[in-house]
Amino acid sequence: MSEAIKNRYDFVFLFDVKDGNPNGDPDQVNLPRADAEDQHGLVTDVCIKRKVRNYVMLEKKLTPPFDIFIRQEHYLNKIIDSAIGEKIQERQEGLCKNYFDIRTFGAVLSTGERGAGTVRGPVQFTFARSEDRIYQAEHSITRCAVTTEEDFKKQEKREHASTFGRKSTVPYALYRMHGFISAVDAKKTKFSEEDLKLLWKSLINAFENDRAAARGEMNPRKLVIFKHDGHLGNELSGRLFERVTVTKNSDLPRRIEDYLIVINKEHLPSGIEVQEWPEDNVF
């Protein structure tokens, strides 16, 4: 593994969805998540982190130092308790060394008989929020087969037995997520330049191997990275994010071309470098 990153980063990630549900809300019968007050669409940070983890699992095949801690069929307490070291710091270092997602996002490791405290990861995501209000479209769907014998007997005399269901989608929406990478916390978990490149690659490919009929078409559209020349940073993240503006040029957007994305690179603060995908090779 290469040494820990020495620069702070802030970034803006833009992605869209067409005729799909990017992140259903189980408290709202799996409707696409939305701000209850203004109806802007939401995608949780946990949802995007899951997609990053899934991509790393596929590319690195769960091989240390790129194993994934938070995943299905994992008995977390067993892993925590088996970490080598008598001191909490020693156990944390071992877990960070082997698991990409602990090294990146941090983890609560205080469970189990031995425990290993809590690791704060250098990479943090916000919720993604749509640029405009979303319409939560609901569709009736039918199925020609039934699941129970009781339903079969009720419908066996009909020529076409079927059952009904519901499906919820967003016709189209462009979502914006902000991210932060701390060089200070990266030093603690040993989050490296190699890890950083893998993170960018995972974001850009987050939807490629996560296709599902319910999610429709989801695609990355823009990744704007602000690199600081020091570990503490050269400008407030909020001011940097303001340099990325999204303006719609249609009353009812239905494609990425209905938006204009502009990155203001004029009079950048000293010590700030801007990289953007797909124009620049960020990995």
Q: Phi and psi at residue 219, in whole multiples of 5°?
A: -140, 140
> Which amino acid appears at position 215 of this protein?
R
pLDDT at res. 253: 97
**Distance, CA of 31 to CA of 34 (rounded, Å):** 8
Residue 56 corresponds to which tokens in the numbers above?
Answer: 């790393």
Token reading at 13: 């990630």
Q: Tell me, what DSSP letter sits at residue 86?
A: S
pLDDT digits (tens, 9 = 90+) for 243-258: 999 999 999 999 999 9
pLDDT confidence tier of residue 162, bands split at 50, 70 and 90: low
User: Model confidence at 161, in pLDDT bands (50, 70, 90)?
Assistant: low
pLDDT digits (tens, 9 = 90+) for 68-96: 999 988 889 999 998 999 899 999 999 99
State the alpha helices, DSSP H only, in the chain: 45-60, 76-81, 88-98, 100-105, 149-155, 183-189, 193-204, 237-241
Report, in this order, helix, strand and coil percent for the chain, each rounded to 5. 30, 35, 40
80: Cβ contacts below 8 Å, ≥ 6 apart: 91, 95, 109, 111, 112, 114, 115, 116
Query: What is the average pLDDT across 108-118?
Result: 91
**pTM, entire model:** 0.92
pLDDT of residue 119: 96
- pLDDT, one tens digit per residue, over 1-15 is 679 999 999 999 999
Q: What is the pLDDT of residues 24-67, one digit of tens each?
A: 999 998 999 999 999 999 999 999 999 999 999 999 999 999 99
